[in-house]
Amino acid sequence: MGRIKIKDLLNATEFGQEVTVKGWVKTFRNNQFIAINDGSTINNIQAVVDFTTTDEALLKRITTGAAVSVTGELVESLGKGQRVEIKVRELEILGDSDPEKFPLQPKKHSLEFLREIAHLRFRTSTFNAVFKVRHALAFAVHKFFNDRGFVYMHTPIVTGSDAEGAGEMFRVTTLDLDNIPRNEDGSINFKEDFFGKSTNLTVSGQLEGELAAMAFGEIYTFGPTFRAENSNTTRHLAEFWMIEPEMAFYDLNDNMNLAEDLLKYLIRYALDNCSDELEFLKARLLEEEKQKPQNERSDLDLIAKLNFCLENSFERLTYTEAINILKNSKPNQKKQFKYLIENWGADLQSEHERYLVEKHFKKPVILTDYPAEIKAFYMRQNEVDAEGRKTVRAMDILFPGIGEIVGGSQREERLELLEQRMREMHIPVEEMSWFLDTRRFGSAPHAGFGLGFERLVLFVTGMTNIRDVIPFPRTPKNAEF
């Protein structure tokens, strides 16, 4: 008899059939009730074993974490909490789990503790739910773009360029670090390295994505990106996944519309396809919020918050309008912001973004037209305004509890202006000739954005630390597993 997944059995309506399930023991009560989970669903199935006719040595091996195979009759459950259960005829231990050593005993564990045993935390209900939602969102990303005729482009992980001009990159090398070859001036001789030049892990697939968009029209990338930024926060990772579409013939408005459509589609997909997981995470969050003072608790539960994002159009305003709101806000005037807003040109911090979203507009916000000084070289320059201020056609989408979740812009398609901007920002124009060819041969208006996948998963699951929504987090001084 073939194994049947627990997810399918829990929905079964034919009783009396003989079934086999295989999974891991969650709990074993009263020497007869085994809760088994096989990962196919967040819910367990109960198997009832007759301890009077079962070998005592076998019963002792039914411990939390043990892998088991049970065969028996599927019956209607008489107990509360489950509709069906299995009356066990045959039980086999596939893999023992020593209760003295297995760290996931049936009790509440802190997320900090579970991070230390990230290789086992998948077995908890919380992480079963989180990673099922992550899977659904990843699938939905591909479905969204595929259904709209976008081409999925694999951009390189190892690259010789710095897309952001940020300089916080992981170096890739095969040079002997105990005997680094040097040029006469003392600089590293990269000609002896594997690629014959200095290379690093990518910070973004955008630049290569632009090349493809200038041939296919609409493309997207979805892959890992890396930042060697020494940020030990609940919102930063050194290795994270980015969704980066690039579209020819799009302006800033087209870009904003696509980004809003994508976010709403992904949230809707999770609500439609992960109802059990989201109900569990909603209850988990409500329990967690009980520990907080009343004024720090959310107005909406997790599912209400997700629906709220679907039901409201995102508020769109310029950076200049946002600065005026922030300057005149109570937290700014009462000096409650850590970073006070005094002048136009300030780089907005997470506290400012969250004030706009959570307190002022009380819904997602799209900010546009940022100062050129605080944005990347490739963003299209606006006409200088009446006060002589230079801005670019950038757009950031801000979400409650998260801050920035999407960053994008209309790209600068005019060769002369792009080269001028690159020189101002000390980006090597000659080395980037391949990128500039898109502006030399058939240049066209185009736009794109980056969506941080983990920040999206953080928002949809209601988790509060980004390290809890990626299987094996990579952070400063931490590359375990």
Confidence bin at 402 (pLDDT 50/70/90): confident
What's the pLDDT score for residue 334? 95
Give the rounded percent of residues in the chain with a pLDDT score beyond 90: 85
Span 328-354, mean pLDDT?
A: 94
DSSP 336-350: -SSS---STTPPPPH
Span 103-121, mean pLDDT?
A: 92
Residues forming beta bridges with residue 152, ordered by sequence position? 220
Confidence bin at 164 (pLDDT 50/70/90): low
Per-residue CA distances from 60 to 55, 97, 99, 104, 355 (Å): 9, 11, 10, 18, 56
Q: Which two tokens stand for residue 90?
A: 């045959």
Which pLDDT tens digit goes with each residue over 190-230? 999 999 999 999 999 999 999 999 999 999 999 999 999 88
- 292 pLDDT exceeds 90? no
* Cβ-contact 18, 4 below 8 angstroms: no
Q: Rounded CA gap, 203 and 56, in Å?
A: 58
Query: Residue 389: phi, psi to the nearest 5?
Result: -95, 135
Span 418-440, mean pLDDT?
A: 93
In the chain the domains, ranked by start, together with CATH numbers, are 6-103 (2.40.50.140), 123-168+203-468 (3.30.930.10)
What's the pLDDT score for residue 72? 97
Task: State the chain's maximal CA–CA distance in angstroms.
Answer: 89
Sheet containing 403-410: give its strands across.
Answer: 151-152, 218-226, 239-248, 446-452, 403-410, 391-399, 365-371, 315-318
Give the rounded percent of residues in the chain with a pLDDT score beyond 70: 99
What's the pLDDT score for residue 167? 61
Going by C-alpha positions, the residue among 466, 474, 469 that lies closest to residue 127 is 469
Confidence bin at 106 (pLDDT 50/70/90): confident
DSSP conformation class of 383: P
- 79 pLDDT exceeds 80? no
Q: Tell me what the pLDDT averaged over the chain comes to.
A: 94
Q: Rounded CA gap, 364 and 255, in Å?
A: 16
Show the beta-strand stretches assigned E in 259-415: 315-318, 365-371, 391-399, 403-410
Confidence bin at 163 (pLDDT 50/70/90): low
- 165 pLDDT exceeds 60? no
Determine which of 293-302, 346-355, 428-437 has the lowest per-residue pLDDT on average.
Answer: 293-302
DSSP conformation class of 307: H
Determine which of 154-168, 294-308, 314-328 has the lowest per-residue pLDDT on average.
Answer: 154-168
Helix (H, G, I), strand (E, B) or coil at 112: helix
- 111 pLDDT exceeds 90? yes
DSSP 205-259: SHHHHHHHHHHHSEEEEEEEEE------STT--SEEEEEEEEEET--HHHHHHHH
All residues at 6 or more sequence positions from 6 whose CB lies less than 8 Å from its CB, including other chains: 21, 23, 36, 37, 38, 40, 41, 43, 44, 45
